[in-house]
Amino acid sequence: MATIIAITNQKGGVGKTTTCSAFCGGLTDCGYNVLAIDLDPQGNLSFSLGAEAEENYTMYDVFKGNCEIKDAIQCTNNCDVIAANILLSGCELELTGVGREYILREALSTIQDRYDYIIIDTPPALSILTINAYTAANQLIIPMIAEILSLQGIAQLKETIFAVKKYYNKELEIKGILLNKYNPRLILTKEVEELAGIIADQLGTKILDAKISTSVSLAEAPAHGITIMEYAPRSKATAEYRKLICEITGVSKHSGTKGGSHTSGSKGSSKKKQNKK
């Protein structure tokens, strides 16, 4: 049964997609079966992992009931992916039925035993897509950068997380706040880190020990459709993300890996839309 991890912050530009991509690359590199789910209508994670978002079924089709979730899975060179495109932005208005908060969780229940980890990239908004991610997930990671607006995004996120835990997913665990683009030499970084620690206490979590520095490689990797682990395996960013993955999951590149290939979870998937009846 897969561990489902959602990467979330309603503030954009804090490294959610980069963190998702690194998690997928690091866990796949260790031999785990990984599924990446893109819930952001911008489709940045889909692009970063080399998935096709126009000719294949996407998360929009899953939410709308146009296909079963297994038919939306694509096998890429990185890991299995369910892509997203701009159509997903219509879900807030189109999904009005009872139980709309549980659509993703119910869909994942049919494929969850195929994977070791399912990583969800959430949109920069507190929408029905975000609530579906929280309802389906076992764990949350909250990335932020050392800016006041990023910190404000977490404060606003707090009420939504507590509401989801109360009404939809009592088992949801906040694993920690991740500091991205981290520069310990800046006074602002220290000030924001202290304030983030206060919010972390209110959320019942912590500032994660692993911190991610600014890196040109992190910006370059998506253009090649591969993760930072493959693009720059010896970079500082890769080492920092490996530390993060180990802190969250206990999985280490040097502590032994699980056998298997990421392709085993998606045979016969990735059907084309033109084949729909």
Give domain limits for the chain: 3-254
Alpha-carbon torsion 59, 212, 125, 107, what sign?
Answer: positive
Q: Which of 2, 1, 5 has its CA nearest to residue 244?
A: 5
pTM for this predicted structure? 0.89
Show the tokens assigned to 70.
């297994």
Q: Is the pLDDT of residue 199 over 50?
A: yes
CATH topology for 3-254 is Rossmann fold (3.40.50)
Q: How confident is the model at residue 223 (pLDDT cuts 50, 70, 90)?
A: confident
Higher pLDDT, 151 or 143: 143
Phi/psi class of residue 97: alpha, beta or left (left: φ > 0; alpha: ψ in -120 to 50)?
Answer: beta
Q: What is the pLDDT of residue 215?
A: 87
Tell me: the pLDDT tens digits for 246-265?
A: 999 998 765 544 544 444 44
CA–CA–CA angle 103, 117, 270 (5° rounding): 65
Q: Is the dihedral of CA 234, 40, 180, 3 positive or negative?
A: negative
Bigger pLDDT: 216 vs 268: 216
pLDDT at 266 over 50: no
Q: Is the pLDDT of residue 102 over 70?
A: yes
Greater confidence (93 vs 205) lies with 205
CA atoms of 216 and 232, how far apart (whole Å): 10
